[in-house]
Structure 1
Amino acid sequence: MYPNLTGLGIHDPKQIERYSLRQEAHKDVLKIYFHKQKGELFAKSVKFKYPRQIKNVLVDGGTHQYREVTEINRNLTLVIDELNTITRPAKRKETDLKEKILLDLRHLEKVVSSKIHEIEADLEKLK
């Protein structure tokens, strides 16, 4: 189901929690973090380094000037696509956040309404 991750030696992609990607010199460093297992102090992680692809790009056609440009390795993009399908059920996270905000808003409405009634009752006592 995840051929690129399997190619990296990751046989149980469901254990992946998150990943990070950074650039060091002419390499991209991918670090994959796994869910912490019972009894472990720290979650396990693995690190992979991918050399960046170097291309010469024409900057000025009149003077035929080229500039060296680096870009992400194609294999790494395939791995990241697979990781995104595992780690980013973004719709669910957004709806969870939306539900939390709505619950907080409803609670705030109740608190404000209750306080308004309390203040109105105090005003009635002053009459």
Structure 2
Amino acid sequence: MFVNLIGLGIQDPLKIERYSLRQEAHKDVLKIYFRKQKGELFAKSVKFKYPRQVKNVLINNASHQYKQITEINRNLTLVIDELNAITKPAKPTDVDIKQKILSDLRHLEKVVSSKIAEIEADLEKLS
């Protein structure tokens, strides 16, 4: 099921808790963290380094100027897709969205009320 993760030597991909990705010089560093097992003081993690792919991109057609850019390794994108499938939280439900909208609306209401009170106070000072 998780062909790329198994290809990296990860025996049980479903034990993955999270991951981080950062860039160092001309490499992308992927660090995968596993769920802490009973009796372990720290959760285990593994680190993989992927060289960035170098491409020459035409920036000025008239003078034929090229610029060298780097981009993420294709194999790494496949691994990240699998990691997202494992670690990505469930999509928010309609109830969650409704609660967020109501919360935002209440906050906006307080901000507007406060601003109206501030403007009214400024008007009173002018009278």
TM-score (ref. length: structure 1): 0.73
CA distance in 1 between partners of 2:8 and 2:73 (Å)? 15
Q: Which letter maps to 1:61?
A: N
Residues 42-91 of structure 1: CA distance to partner in whole angstroms, max 9, x if unpaired? 10000000000000000000000000000000000000000000000331
CA distance in 1 between partners of 2:71 and 2:37 (Å)? 36
**Rg (Cα) greater in structure:** 1
Residue identity (%): 75
Q: Which letter maps to 2:14?
A: K
The equivalent of 2:96 in structure 1 is 98
Secondary structure of 1:80's match? helix
The equivalent of 1:121 in structure 2 is none
Q: Which runs of 5+ in 2 are unaligned?
A: 104-127
Q: Which runs of 4+ in 1 moved over 4 A?
A: none
Q: Which letter maps to 2:96?
A: K
Residues 12-71 of structure 1: CA distance to partner in whole angstroms, max 9, x if unpaired? 011000000000000000000000000111100000000000000000000000000000
The equivalent of 1:44 in structure 2 is 44
Whether 2:4 is the aligned partner of 1:4: answer: yes
How many residue pairs end up in the alignment? 100
The equivalent of 1:57 in structure 2 is 57
Secondary structure of 1:90's match? coil
Residue 11 of structure 1: CA displacement? 1.4
Residue 98 of structure 1: CA displacement? 2.3
Q: Which runs of 5+ in 1 are unaligned?
A: 106-127
The equivalent of 1:14 in structure 2 is 14
